Structure 1
């Protein structure tokens, strides 16, 4: 699991909700989260801003999303 997906789940957001916040397609969020697509610089900045994180915490220098460590636990969020 990527850090992007982990943060999104931790906040209780769907991919569609993140996409709407950024005014982009939900499929882009899905592809970037799964590492099937690299994020371009503008998207990396927007995602970092939405999640309140640094770009370097979420992405490798080439735009590939970083992977969560195995011992990271995502707690369910009640809505």
Structure 2
């Protein structure tokens, strides 16, 4: 793996984690104190983040830093789509329960 591929892997994983969390780029950028434009460049593999930002990302996603570098292609595209859909369904269900019972995060 070369440096460019590493940038793209990190960016893709950040984007994937952000989407699984149900956040827009603006929401994630605010949570970790980055500009939306910079976050966009990171997600597309154009820019790299500092170690401090990597720690913030891992913390906000409740991961270990090394998990930001795990290739997602451990599953087939079909399996990946099913996992993504399942994750979206779970997030929606949790949000509905929180709204119904006014649970504050």
Does the alignment pair 1:68 with 2:82?
Answer: no
Tell me the C-alpha RMSD between the 2 structures.
2.0
- Map 1:1-79 to 2 at 5 A: 2-59=12-69, 67-69=71-73, 71=76, 72-73=80-81, 74-75=84-85, 76=88, 77-78=91-92
Number of residue-to-residue matches in the alignment: 73
Unaligned runs of 5+ in 2: 1-10, 96-105
Runs of 4+ in 1 over 3 A off after TM superposition: none
Distance 1:17 1:30 in 2: 12
Kindly indicate whether structure 1 or structure 2 has the higher relative contact order, using CA contacts under 8 Å at least 6 residues apart: 1
Distance 2:15 2:42 in 1: 9
Question: What TM-score, normalized to structure 1?
Answer: 0.77
Question: What TM-score, normalized to structure 2?
Answer: 0.60
Unaligned runs of 5+ in 1: 60-65
